[in-house]
Amino acid sequence: MSTAIPWSVKPHPVTGIPNAKLGIWLFLASEVMLFGALFSSYILIRTGSEQWPMGRTILNIPLATLNTVILITSSVTMVMAWASLKMNQFGKFKLFQTLTILLALGFMVVKAFEYGGKLHHYEVTLVEGSEAADKAGALKITGHIDHATAGNGGAITSWIRSRDDLHDGKISFVADPPAGSHEHPAAIELAAEDMERLTFFGPHRDTFFAVYFTLTGLHGIHVLGGIVVLLYFLLPGSRMWRTDPERFTGRIECTGLYWHFVDLVWIFLFPTLYLL
Amino acid sequence: MTDTHPNGSPGAREAHGGGHGETSFLWKYVFSQDHKVIGIQYGITGLCFLFFGFTLMMLMRWQLAYPNQPLPWPWLAELLGNIRAPGGVLEAGFYNQLGAMHGTIMVFLGVVPIAVGAFGNYVVPLQIGAPDMAFPKLNMASYWVYFCGGVIMLASFFVPGGAASSGWTSYPPLSNIATQGQTWWLVGMVFLITSSLLGSVNFIVTIVQMRAPGLSMFRLPFFVWAQLVTAFLLLLAFPPLEAAGVLQLMDRVFGTSFFLPSGLVVNAIPYAQTTGYSGGGSALLWQHLFWFLAHPEVYVLILPAMGIVAEIVANNTRKPLWGYRLLVYAAIFLGFMSFIVWAHHMFMTGMGTVMSTFFQTTTMIISIPSVIILTCMILSLWGGSIRFSIPMLFALAFLPMFAIGGLTGLPLGLTLSDLHLHDTYYVIGHFHYVVAPGTIMALFAGIYYWYPKVTGRKMSGLLGHLHFWPTLILMNSIFMPMFFMGMAGLNRRMYDQTVYVHGRGVQPLSLMVSWSAWMLAVAQIPFIINFFKSWKAGEKVNDNPWEATTLEWAAPSPPPHGNFTTLPEVHRGPYEYSVPGQSGDFCPQHARPDSASEGTPSAPPVPAAH
Amino acid sequence: MDPVKFGYWFPADVSTHGPSVDLLIDYVHYLAVALFVGWGIFMLYCLIRFRQRPGHKAQYELPHFKGSKYAEVAVALIELVLLLGFSIPVWASIRYELPRTDAPDKVVVRCIAEQFAWYFWYPGPDGEFEPASADRIKPSNPLGLRDPSRDAVSKDEFHFPVNRPIVVYVTSRDVIHGFNIPLMRVKHDAVPGLNIPIWFQATKTNDEIFAAMSPERLRIGPALVGRKEPYIAMEAVKAADGSDLLKSGDTFVFGEALVKGLTGAGVQELSVKLKFPVELACAQLCGNGHSGMRAAVSIDTEEQFAAFIAGKMAK
Ligand code: HEM
Ligand SMILES: [Cu+2]
Ligand SMILES: [Cu+2]
């Protein structure tokens, strides 16, 4: 008797689907539990916090909207890629698969810009009663660092993560425009000793950013994983089309299911993080 | 099965065809995709980890029996080194590492890999008449991911500060501020979780899609049902722990505060001053995520054991199981309920009355299916013709041992009685009765039972008796005293229980526990000898030495690549023993109703299971 | 009062709610033992009667066991009674009743746990807790109070009066600890970020418990070095050179010198009593010092308690 695995291509007469498709659905069920647990944690932390910033006041909505459009489009091209195989048009499949990958990469590039913006956006907590605090009129100001000089007078060009990176130097700090305006106030000089805490908008800044970076980061890893799989089936994996087209089509279908799920997660992330 | 093979291209190694030539040692035994080889790999690795986890515990038992006295053998102290055992005395931090790693290794690297990875992998495809698991490559990947997870866990003992030391539960903030070993633990867990997820997908697909013709769901052996429910638990309960692990990694690596509330003061210095952390997290969040996994995990530890015992009880009583359908329904109900009892581990954290009422009620409800399963198995003995084979002895011992474990769970599930018993040795006694004299006995039963299938040889009965009786007695003299220690108020995870007057009061019991544990190690020697010796020198037996009915016995011993020489077809339920009007006392699932060869008369087909 | 013994089921119990806890534990165990014995007898009977032997054959047709169904329903009912009749109502009363109602004679204490110490913080005569801030923490002001002289703070020694409701706000400032007094059936996690009130009431004073406690024979060994709790010697011990090491009735603390002296004098066991026989233990793993994280509990008479607070305020 042959040892080939039954129902690895043909649908099982009772369940109506082949093995791989059942497998991917089960995998997605576990993914739902994973993101479900993370969303629940988010809700728990948010309801337990004293104050929670509105995502739209800190995050970049236009970029995120662009990304939403990109990702939804990529889901469409993914479906087209699979449909092309179904219609036996391998050339078209290659085209749509490539498009999907390009869109996914586009998503990651936009994401990188978004992350980059956060990593170069700073918050300074000034020492209570210091001259700088008087001048700034507030204890906490946000903005970006125009340039920084170390204690010995040399310029600091590397990325500044905390006050310690200043080496007792000072920064020229450009505060964000006040609400309702687009004009940045003039830069102010802040010495290291004026500051209690200097931090960029990274995951450690507060629980909002912790949630933001963790959820979008994990989603980004899923996108990257998707890109790897898509590339595999575009290049070396596509050889199977010649030997076993039916199985190949099945694999593209499963990839598509995964890809739609990744898309769906983003559809949840976008409103909960950016809008609410 | 005339499916054309994937990658039919010449030379593709993954070609799964039986008898293809390219079988170097490496591909046949190391990176094998055959479920039987993978099962054996899981089994051997799991047994090694089980023994290692037990060794850690034997070390701890020295400190507990003889607090702050140097270890009895200088070479041992030397081996541990001056940091772990200065002057030969176990250091408190190292003791905590041993405790945390004992728990982690026993649960995630020992019992689950044996119960699911080894028995599930080896037996399930055979029992459902399939040539292999649905995704052989994924199966191999599961094993190797598990293996990497194990290596990471072991390696963590050698990083600065040693292994994780915050208990197998890793409660933050303690685990957040712990040494680097905790990060290794988290990464190791991510590997183990991934492995379990891959495995569970594979199991479910295999059981749902690949049953032999005629093998309807209610003709499945109970063991397969148990594995199916287990796979669902792994699939759905592990992701939340993965989420928790990711959050704790973020806390430890990127300085977030998911589990750190505001205003912490560590070593009398505000934590924000030393680390710049933001606060705003919740310490209890971890506990919710952790126990959402870890309670279903308890059933992952016990369900496969129940499955093994059911097979052996049916086989050795020579009659159908009592209430097969009831068993199946109870197992499914158990699996479902296990997702909504998790907070009974958190009664002392200050939850409101509504929450505590809900969770004690669900906990009482979940005890009912356990009582049903146990009752069914015991009633199955009635009217049998009971053979006291070695597997049967272990399976019979499982029943009262699991009963003790289950019954002592009741006072822990009621908030009022949990008040006194929570976090004491009573808890340790309770869950060990479930997993050690319970599950471990069942795993031994399984090893003795399926050994002839794997090797074509039986293990020695004399050595089996020498293994069974001391193990049974010692298991009890280890864990029974713990109930009394807990009753006296002695807390668990104590480096030195003689600090407290109630601890000193039960110190003699502690000595008894320690000596029993060390003797238990000695009692395993007959097993180890038996296990290795019988591989080559055991009594040769036929393909169905126990005269069993389920499909794995229809395959040759050991089964070849692809398992069955002829495609099995199933005609009846799993436990058709002593069917009236037949000559033999068993009627295999695959025996044709019309053939007289297996002692089956040409009578009308026997009805399916009950 | 009964002698204080350990290892034979429950230890002594000196709280008002304790008996209901013990009662429920007993009842659950009656149920458990009854089930276990029932199963066990049935199982043994089957194993003997239905053992394999020549001429004996298994029955395929299964008898219909009504009994099992009745037994399962009975178990469910008993569990229901235990749940609804005991656990839920009593738990609700011991956990929630007092902090809400205003008992005039209650004593309010704050307990703050840290690695590896317990702080008990009592309001001064004004009945108010001083504001506290982590920035002010220093050895002389371990809780960072605004004015430490206005409140009483005790480290590792928990005093409260007998026969009065005690409300304790339990919290931690680093990791999770467990506030546990086994002899009073009191247990609650001390969770950082949460400040949870629990309450209890003692029925015996320290002195009464001390009198009822039989002396224990302590093994002299290295584990005793570093113990901070005071003991009272119940026998006299002479050193190797004939001088007095301990006189009967002495209050003492084990130290390296004393342990060395005792070992030198060939003493293997020493008859002692704990000065504070009721102990508070940490019930949650909290780090390397977890098992040593104990506090003495002193259940005082009104006068003793007043004197204790006055003594702490004077400091
Ligand atoms: C048969 C030999 C075994 C012995 C003698 C043994 C003994 C112990 C003891 C004495 C403790 C309590 C340590 C403490 O509180 O300080 C403990 C903890 C534990 N054991 Fe075992 N055990 C055995 C087998 C197992 C098995 C088979 C499992 C799991 C499947 C297991 C899982 C655990 C867990 C999860 C803990 C809690 C660890 C923690 O505190 O974080 N043990 N064991
Ligand atoms: Cu549980
Ligand atoms: Cu503690």
* A34:B242 CB<8 A: yes
Rounded CA gap, A171 and A174, in Å? 9
* B499:C60 CB<8 A: no
Using an 8 Å Cβ cutoff, are A267 and A39 in contact? no
Using an 8 Å Cβ cutoff, are A173 and A146 in contact? yes
Q: Report in angstroms the alpha-carbon separations of C209 from A184, B487, C201, C218.
A: 73, 19, 15, 19
* B485:C7 CB<8 A: yes
Report CA(B101)–ligand 3 centroid distance (Å).
20
pTM for the complete prediction? 0.93
Kindly report the three-state secondary structure assignment for every residue of B492-546: CCCCCHHHCHHHHHCHHHHHHHHHHHHHHHHHCHHHHHHHHHHHHHCEECCCCCC
Q: CATH code for A61-119+217-275?
A: 1.20.120.80
The alpha carbon dihedral of B207, B208, B209, B214 has a sign of: positive
Structure confidence by residue, pLDDT tens digits, A201-218: 888 888 999 999 999 999
* A2:B202 CB<8 A: no
Q: Which ligand is nearest to the CA of B59?
A: 1
Query: Which stretches of chain B score pLDDT less than 50?
Result: 1-21, 596-610
Q: Nearest 5°: phi and psi at A3?
A: -100, 15
Q: Residue C138 gets which letter from DSSP?
A: B
Using an 8 Å Cβ cutoff, are B426 and B390 in contact? no
Angle, alpha carbons B159-B185-B341 (nearest 5°) = 155
The reply to whether ligand 1 has any atom less than 6 angstroms from the CB of B301 is: yes
Rounded CA gap, C20 and A61, in Å? 59
* B417:C87 CB<8 A: yes
3-state SS, residue B290: helix
- For residue A249 the two structure tokens come to 């089509």
Rounded CA gap, A176 and A121, in Å? 9
Contacts of B209 in chain A (CB under 8 A): 6-7, 12, 15, 18-19, 22
**Minimum Cα–Cα distance from B259: chain A residue:** A45
Smallest CA separation from ligand 1 atom 35, residue: B103
Contacts of C29 in chain B (CB under 8 A): 411
Q: Helix-strand-coil percent breakdown of chain C, rounded to 5? A: 35, 25, 40
Task: Kindly give the number of the ligand 1 atom that is closest to the alpha carbon of B492.
Answer: 15
Using an 8 Å Cβ cutoff, are A4 and B5 in contact? yes
Smallest CA separation from ligand 1 atom 30, residue: B107
Compute the mean pLDDT over every residue in chain C, rounded to the nearest whole number.
89
What pLDDT score was predicted for residue C98?
A: 73
Rounded CA gap, C193 and C196, in Å? 10
The reply to whether ligand 1 has any atom less than 6 angstroms from the CB of B493 is: yes
Report CA(C177)–ligand 3 centroid distance (Å).
4
* Chain B contact partners (≥3 CB pairs within 8 A): A, C
Q: Where are the alpha helices (DSSP H) in B380-440?
A: 390-407, 410-413, 415-421, 425-433
| Axis crossing angle, helix B222-254 with helix B283-317, rounded to the nearest 10 | 160
**Residue of B522, B308, B290, B503 whose CA lies nearest to B398:** B308
Report CA(B441)–ligand 1 centroid distance (Å).
15
Prior bond to A18 cis, omega within 30?
Answer: no
Angle, alpha carbons A97-A102-A108 (nearest 5°) = 130
CB of C6 less than 8 A from some CB of B: yes
* B282:A44 CB<8 A: yes
Ramachandran sector of residue C274 (left: φ over 0; alpha: ψ -120 to 50; beta: rest): beta
Q: Chain B to chain C, count of Cβ pairs less than 8 Å apart?
A: 312
- How large is the ipTM? 0.94
Structure confidence by residue, pLDDT tens digits, A83-115: 999 999 999 999 999 999 999 999 999 999 999
Q: How far is B274 from chain C (nearest CA, A)?
A: 12
Contacts of B289 in chain A (CB under 8 A): 37, 41
What pLDDT score was predicted for residue A3?
A: 63
* C290:B493 CB<8 A: yes
Place of tokens 């590397």: A158
Smallest CA separation from ligand 1 atom 39, residue: B167
Quick one: pLDDT band at residue A178, thresholds 50, 70, 90?
Answer: confident
Domain with CATH 1.20.120.80 in chain A: 61-119+217-275
Count CB neighbours of A184 within 10 A: 14
Write the burial class of residue C112 (CB in 10 Å: 0-12 exposed, 13-18 middle, 19+ buried).
Answer: buried
Rounded CA gap, B45 and B28, in Å? 17
The reply to whether ligand 1 has any atom less than 6 angstroms from the CB of B49 is: no
Q: Chain A to chain B, count of Cβ pairs less than 8 Å apart?
A: 181
* B411:C289 CB<8 A: no
Task: Kindly give the number of the ligand 1 atom that is closest to the alpha carbon of B440.
Answer: 27
Using an 8 Å Cβ cutoff, are A100 and A78 in contact? yes
Smallest CA separation from ligand 1 atom 14, residue: B493
Count CB neighbours of B333 within 10 A: 16
- For residue A255 the two structure tokens come to 């990839």
* B209:A22 CB<8 A: yes
Rounded CA gap, B10 and A269, in Å? 46
The reply to whether ligand 1 has any atom less than 6 angstroms from the CB of B107 is: yes
Count CB neighbours of B366 within 10 A: 21
Rounded CA gap, C222 and B88, in Å? 13
Q: Which ligand is nearest to the CA of C116?
A: 3
* Chain C contact partners (≥3 CB pairs within 8 A): B
**Minimum Cα–Cα distance from A204: chain B residue:** B256
Rounded CA gap, B444 and A114, in Å? 56
Q: Nearest 5°: phi and psi at A5?
A: -75, 125
Using an 8 Å Cβ cutoff, are C197 and C169 in contact? yes
Instruction: Report the largest interatomic distance among the alpha carbons of chain B, rounded to a whole angstrom.
Output: 85
What pLDDT score was predicted for residue B155?
A: 96
- For residue B561 the two structure tokens come to 């690549």
Smallest CA separation from ligand 1 atom 1, residue: B436
Q: What residues form DSSP beta bridges with A182?
A: none
Radius of gyration of chain C, Cα coordinates, nearest whole angstrom: 26
Number of alpha carbons in the 13 Å side-chain half-sphere of residue B421: 32
* C65:B268 CB<8 A: no
Task: Kindly give the number of the ligand 1 atom that is closest to the alpha carbon of B495.
Answer: 16
Q: Report in angstroms the alpha-carbon separations of C54 from A211, B358, B546, C50, C266.
A: 71, 54, 18, 11, 67
The reply to whether ligand 1 has any atom less than 6 angstroms from the CB of B111 is: yes
Q: Which ligand is nearest to the CA of B345?
A: 2
Q: Which ligand is nearest to the CA of C287?
A: 3
Q: How far is B131 from chain A (nearest CA, A)?
A: 6
**Residue of C250, C229, C249 whose CA lies nearest to C297:** C229
Rounded CA gap, A189 and C132, in Å? 35
Q: Specify the DSSP element, H or E, that contains C58.
A: none
Report CA(B37)–ligand 1 centroid distance (Å).
30
Q: Report in angstroms the alpha-carbon separations of B261 from A49, A201, B183, B403, C178.
A: 10, 20, 20, 41, 18
- For residue C13 the two structure tokens come to 């119990």
Using an 8 Å Cβ cutoff, are B100 and B175 in contact? no
Structure confidence by residue, pLDDT tens digits, C135-148: 889 888 999 999 88
* B385:C52 CB<8 A: yes
**CB within 8 Å of chain B, chain C residues 37-56:** 39-40, 42-43, 46-47, 50-52, 56
- For residue A139 the two structure tokens come to 């204890």
Interface test with B, best of C9, C189, C220, C225 (most B CBs within 10 A): C189
The reply to whether ligand 1 has any atom less than 6 angstroms from the CB of B432 is: yes
- For residue A70 the two structure tokens come to 């990109």
**Minimum Cα–Cα distance from B267: chain C residue:** C115
* Chain A contact partners (≥3 CB pairs within 8 A): B
Mean pLDDT of C36-46: 94
**Residue of B311, B301, B103 whose CA lies nearest to B189:** B103
Rounded CA gap, C174 and C289, in Å? 14
Nearest CB to B289; choose among A2, A37, A209: A37
Is the pLDDT score of A170 beyond 90? no
Structure confidence by residue, pLDDT tens digits, B546-595: 999 999 999 998 999 889 888 889 999 999 999 888 878 899 999 888 65
Is the pLDDT score of A11 beyond 70? yes
Task: Kindly give the number of the ligand 1 atom that is closest to the alpha carbon of B425.
Answer: 15
* A26:B239 CB<8 A: no
Nearest CB to B210; choose among A6, A9, A214: A6
| Axis crossing angle, helix B525-537 with helix B461-487, rounded to the nearest 10 | 150
What pLDDT score was predicted for residue C77?
A: 87
